[in-house]
Amino acid sequence: MEASEESESMKEIKSVKVRRVNVVKDVLEIFMEPQVMKKVLRIEFTNENAIDDDGVSRELYTAFWEDFLAQCEGEEERVPRLRPDYLEGEWQAVGRVWVKGYIDHGVMPVRLSPAFILACINGIDSVDEELLMSSFLKYLSTSEQSVVEKAVQGSLDKSDSEDLLDLFSRMGSYHLPPKENIRFAILTMAHKVLLQEPKFILSFCLHVSPIARELLLPSIR
């Protein structure tokens, strides 16, 4: 037996049942306990015949992220938002699901904003302007993306300016800045939406070891 197989066989096995209709709630309850990271999970979906093999486990993590990201905000890329039923423990549990799902089965929340992911791993200051702008554009709807791109390029017409003002207003700013400051204003808005507003989540969502952080970094490269 190889060392890695021996190490795996020595881990405690934890058998769990999960309801598909409540997959986020059920999985978070399992991952509220930090020691789950050291255990081998045997997964069973309630009222289904399949009992855990790698396929069922991967399916669990994939189903979790599909439902979890549906509760987040954004279009092509999404960002979690504060919610009254999630406190520190719940966000830490989300982080454990993230790490264990990736380490054990290579499952990642693919629609989670790369700017948000990098901020979780290396801190808000590690997110440069290029990634921030790219993530913000994919957070927006197609029509909003077009308006923002025109604004950055300096090619707005009157109709575009009205649409851009609507976007700024929706995000808390009720006037357009001078043309020469428009890129800075958009980056400031992106920073607010993608990094500042979910800052509480960032502080707990990936409260993991440096080794786990390094393992997750390739997911945004």
Q: First-to-last CA distance in the chain? A: 34
Global pTM reads 0.84
Q: Label residue 175 exposed, middle or buried (CB < 10 Å: 0-12, 13-18, 19+).
A: exposed
Establish if 157 belongs to a structural domain. no
Residue 86: phi and psi, rounded to 5, are -115, 115
Beta bridge partners of 14: 41
Q: Is residue 144 part of a domain?
A: no
Residue 122 maps to a domain: no
Question: Is the residue at 12 inside a domain?
Answer: yes
Give just the sign of the alpha carbon dihedral 121, 126, 128, 132: positive
Q: How many structural domains compose the chain? A: 1
What pLDDT tens digit does each residue of the chain (221 aa) get? Answer: 444 444 555 678 888 899 999 999 999 999 999 999 899 888 888 887 765 566 788 899 999 999 999 999 999 999 999 999 999 999 999 989 998 998 888 898 989 999 998 898 888 999 999 999 999 999 999 999 999 999 999 898 888 899 999 999 988 888 888 989 999 999 999 999 999 999 999 888 765 555 556 666 656 55
With beta carbons less than 8 A apart as the criterion, state whether 147 and 163 touch.
yes
**What gap in Å lies between CA 116 and CA 132, rounded to an integer?**
9
Residue with tokens 């502080």: 203
Residue 134's H or E segment, with its range, is helix 129-139
128 domain-assigned: no
- Domain interval for residue 88: 3-113
Q: Which CATH number goes with the domain that contains 28?
A: 3.90.1750.10
CA 167/CA 174 separation, integer angstroms: 9
Nearby residues of 160 by Cβ (< 8 Å), 6 or more positions away: 147, 150, 151
Residue 73 phi, psi dihedral angles, 5° rounding: -115, 150
Domain contains 190: no
pLDDT at 24: 96
Asked if residue 32 belongs to a domain, the reply is yes
User: Which two three-digit tokens encode residue 151?
Assistant: 């604004």
Residue 172 located in a structural domain: no
